[in-house]
Amino acid sequence: MLKRPPYGIIPAMVTPLTAEDQINERALRRLTNHLIDGGSHAVFAIGSQGEFWAFSADEKRRVWEIVVDEAAGRVPVYAGSAAVTTREAIQLTRLAEEAGVDAVSVLTPYFISPNDNQLYDHYKAIAEATRLPVLLYSNPARTGVKLAVSLVARLAEVPNIVGIKDSSGDLELAAEYMRVAPEKFSVLMGRDTLIYAGLLYGARGAIAATANVKPRLVADIYDKFIAGDLDGARQAQQALAPLRLAFGWGTFPVVIKEALDLMGMEGGPGRAPVGPLSADQREKLRGVLKDMGVV
């Protein structure tokens, strides 16, 4: 369970795979330590960057168990328990709770287009089915579903709905979430290029895929901001931008996995049909990583 509302830099972890398409437990444990040692304030397993759509319920539970075991209470562990149906989302949330995570993050249903009342009922039912804190997750570019400001304000009144990860990239929308939500409700940025801007508006942190690669740099955006070093926070944000902008070079989420491979961290392949970068793209990525000082 969380001891305070969600805050800080929370890496959206990749799920390392072997060449045989199995979960790479050794690499997952190593990644967990890399993120915690790099100053992350929590970790998040089986989100979008973790290929939640690609894994069975048993595989997801195993990933959560490994991360919880390796984190060993040093930082909170968030689990992505998204599903299209309320029933499956509740089942996954309960599996995550049994695995020992501290909170769940639940992406909106995708493919279908539920209205606001249906979304409210969906999230309220999930929250009522668990003792865990629940973080809303909005990524309209990928799901086709947008969480309206008025809906988020309603959901923020559910006792264990504690915040939202906003990956819309719409800073005005994020600012509106912050304006209407109660003080106990955290807005976390989900677009890595907007962490600093979000903090200026009042966001409490970010769930950041780029933190897999250089967690200390991403944590610096938050830590320096909180310490009052705005120039340092802005410089860290600008140094991070080239890696986030490289995401379009391959099929999501392979860029971060291949970056970890280039660093010797064993990100492994994406699960098919996600394929590798081309040789040219990989060399471009190597150049970005060299500029960041990680290869």
Contact partners, residue 70, CB within 8 Å, separation at least 6: 28, 29, 32, 33
Closest CA to 96 of 54, 65, 53, 50: 65
- Whether 201 sits among the annotated catalytic residues: the reply is no
3-state secondary structure of 209: helix
Query: Which CA distances in Å does 35 have to 79, 167, 221, 294?
Result: 16, 21, 15, 14
Residue from 60, 165, 214, 257 carrying the catalytic annotation = 165
Residue from 7, 78, 137, 196 carrying the catalytic annotation = 137
Query: Which CA distances in Å does 128 have to 83, 124, 154, 184?
Result: 16, 6, 15, 18
**Tokens coding 109:** 């249903």
CA atoms of 108 and 138, how far apart (whole Å): 6
Provide the β-strand partners of residue 43.
77
- Whether 137 sits among the annotated catalytic residues: the reply is yes
Q: How far apart, in Å, do the first and last CA atoms of the chain sit? A: 36
Active-site positions read 137, 165
